[in-house]
Amino acid sequence: MTDIIQLLPDHVANQIAAGEVVQRPASVVKELLENAIDAGADSIQLVVKDAGKTLIQVTDNGVGMSETDARLCFERHATSKIKNADDLFNLHTKGFRGEALASIAAIAHVTLKTKRENDEVGTSLTIEGSEVTAQEPAVVAKGTTVSVKNLFYNIPARRNFLKSNPVETRHIIDEFHRVALAHPQVAFSMTHNGSDVFQLQASNIRQRIVGIFGTKTNEKLVPVEEETDIVQVDGFVLKPEYAKKSRGEQFFFVNDRFIKSAYLNHAVQSAFEGLLKDGAHAGYFLFLKVPPKSIDINIHPTKTEIKFDDEHSIYAMLKATVKHSLGQFSVAPVLDFNKDTGFDTPYEYSKKQPKIPNVEVDRSFNPFRNEPSGRRTPSFSRPKQSSWESLCVETKDSGHFSTGIAQLEVESEEVTGTLFNETEKEPSRGTFQLQQKYIVSPIKSGLMVIHQHRAHQRILYEELLRNITVQEAVSQQLLFPLQLSFSTPDREILASITEQLEHTGFVFSEMEQEQVEISGIPVSISESKVEDILKQVIADIKEEVPDAGFSQNDLLAKSLAKSMAIKTGTVLQQAAQEHIIDQLFACKEPNVCPANRPVLLTMDSSDFDKKF
């Protein structure tokens, strides 16, 4: 019987490795940016076209490579970072396995141009599907430029599994954020389809955070700083009032490498205990420094998971450090037993003899006298009853009052604060509200129970979807336009759905780098909820952005309906309950909400008979 086990060819092995290293265009961006950091660059440029599907280009001014190194860097497990197995536990660089460039070259068209500072000419290398098609000298500037074109050109199945351009662009921006935040001393720039997305100058951590997430972020930051033998913690946490329902602005960096750790995230959340609302997540930008030998970063292909030698101690230190910072900057209430120097005796008064203060007292003063002697004081005597009667005399007509000043007419009809006119409405159906969450209404066969929040979602969803499609929404103009601030990625998302939002009733008068000015809003929402609604829409779109057309309109209508619907715990008058029931059964799908959850249920009288 013949042998059946054989070695895979190199190009097949590279494609298999690419399945672990390169999952999407953002993976290529991460690897190339980290290589530029390892090359000692202080200026890095990222150029992306069509969300990385057409082109990803990274240019740096690092040390560059020789002609031989330029050829060897595309071989599997070829690296300058480690020499033996012990080096794996003393890593100070980003890439070290030597798989990234080989994997990228196996599934794309790659062009490498590099030059060292002392070399007269550089090297240009072209690779297609792991095969070198050209290598020649080239006149290039110091540093390295890697261009990756037509990603997954030879693996159509992988290319078909890529998401839409907005989704892939968001993943690229996320990777760009992670590398740029970890290295504020390096200048970064990003261009997508010819337009500038980021222009970040070399700065410190706070300025880098503000440069990425907007100037409004500066007032949200609380500094965190602590140094122990186990770990050194630096960075910032966001104030509790700026916590979000999504896990957006949460960044952990260990030795300048971005990681994901549910264990450390729990430590931060525990430090905010009692300061956050239910379902809210604290934001943070925390940088941990630990000895390289105390961690293992080679446990995941993307190197975003790290194994610590002493997780429990780091957990305790991180929780205590964040809690201390919240108390130190008066974010959380604390007991401070330190001495307050404001109560100390000034130095110039320390040797002076105390003097008895001179206090003048008018012993003849009597506040109960009508005419006190000595000085004039205001009289607090009550006016006589006759004086009040002379000011206001009720006439025969109950709707008029005669005064000594003028004739005042008041409305004889009593004004109430109710929205519906109870005298003209139809006889009540007998609906009532249960636990401020359900609307109970009798029907012929028994009872019908309606979930008020989901029912209102369905009503608003169909109304918003109709307005977006037909483009006949009603807008209320604001006397003073709203000035809202968004980060650059959020503003890009908002700009992509501006047309659909305008069809729902929003009017955007200006949209600059970070500021968005709104001069009109839909009639069904209040001015105070506009910012929260737009942030919720952006968060929902970040979770899942459909391609275009009806799908995007559908997602937008669902998000707006969820934000605008009446919440559980809202007290509804009986007329409002009946109004919701009428609108619900005018919908096309009254039985389910936009998220396909049940809106109502019916209980037959026979169900009650079984209970009794």
Query: What band does 81 get if pLDDT is binned at 50, 70 and 90?
Result: low
- Mean pLDDT score, 567-585: 88
Least confident among 147-161, 276-290, 400-414, 452-466: 400-414
What is the DSSP code string of 544-610? ----STHHHHHHHHHHHHHHHSPPTT----HHHHHHHHHHHTTSS-TTB-TTS-B-EEEEEHHHHHH
**Tens digit of pLDDT for each residue in 254-278?**
988 888 888 888 999 999 888 888 7
**Burial, 153: exposed, middle or buried (Cβ in 10 Å; 0-12, 13-18, 19+)?**
middle
The pLDDT of residue 179: 92
Rounded Cα distance between 246 and 539, Å, is 7
More confident residue, 92 or 55: 55
Kindly provide the b/e burial profile for residues 24-59, where b requires at least 16 CB atoms within 10 angstroms of the residue's own CB. bbbbbbbbbbbbbbbbebebbbbbbeebbbebbbbb
Tell me which residue of 375, 404, 410 sits closest to 390, measured CA to CA: 404
Q: Please state, rounded to an integer, the average pLDDT across all residues of the chain.
A: 80
pLDDT in tens, 307-318: 788 888 889 999
List pLDDT tens digits, range 438-455: 999 888 888 889 999 999
Average pLDDT rounded to a whole number, residues 84-103: 68
Host H or E run for residue 267:
helix 262-271
- Per the CB < 8 A criterion, the answer to whether 200 and 186 are in contact is no
DSSP state, residue 388: H
**pLDDT for residue 262:** 87
DSSP 8-state code for residue 444: S
Residue 115 predicted with pLDDT over 70 = yes
Phi, psi of 365, rounded to the nearest 5 degrees: -75, 130
Work out the average pLDDT over 182-189. 93
Burial readout 436-454 (b: 16 or more C-beta within 10 A, e: otherwise): eebbebeeeeeebebbbbb
pLDDT of residue 548: 42
CA distance 459 to 473: 15
Cβ 191 vs Cβ 47: under 8 Å: yes
Q: How far is C-alpha 97 from the geometric centre of its chain's CA atoms?
A: 34
Run of H or E residues at 312: helix 311-328
Tell me what pLDDT residue 369 has: 76
Band (pLDDT 50/70/90 cuts) for residue 284 is: very high
Does the pLDDT at position 180 exceed 90?
A: yes
8 A C-beta contact, residue 26 and residue 46: no
> What confidence score (pLDDT) does residue 524 get?
74
| CA–CA gap between residue 518 and residue 56 (Å, rounded) | 35
pLDDT higher than 70, residue 335: no
pLDDT in tens, 485-529: 887 778 878 887 888 888 888 888 887 767 788 888 888 778 888
Assess contact for 462 and 561: CB atoms under 8 A. Answer: no
Q: Which domains does the chain have, with CATH numbers?
A: 10-200 (3.30.565.10), 212-328 (3.30.230.10), 432-601 (3.30.1370.100)
Backbone angles phi, psi at 544, to 5 degrees: -155, 110
The segment with the largest mean pLDDT, out of 321-330, 469-478, 551-560, is: 321-330
Per-residue confidence (pLDDT) for residue 516, from 0 to 100: 86
| pLDDT above 70 as % of the chain | 79
- Return the number of other C-beta atoms located less than 10 Å from residue 402's C-beta: 14
Report the C-alpha gap between 377 and 374 in whole angstroms.
10
pLDDT tens-digit map of 351-399: 677 788 888 888 888 878 765 444 554 544 454 444 555 555 544 444 4
- Whether the predicted pLDDT of 178 surpasses 60: yes
Neighbours of 560 (CB within 10 A): 31
Distance of alpha carbon 254 from alpha carbon 296, whole angstroms: 11
Asked if the model's pLDDT at residue 406 lies above 60, the reply is no
Query: For 327-350, what is the mean pLDDT?
Result: 61
Please tell me the predicted confidence (pLDDT) of residue 339.
53
Tens digit of each residue's pLDDT (9 = 90 or more) over 29-78: 998 998 899 888 999 999 999 989 999 999 999 999 988 888 888 887 77
pLDDT tens sequence across 122-150? 999 999 888 889 989 998 999 999 999 99
Hunting for tokens 């292909």 — which residue is that? 301
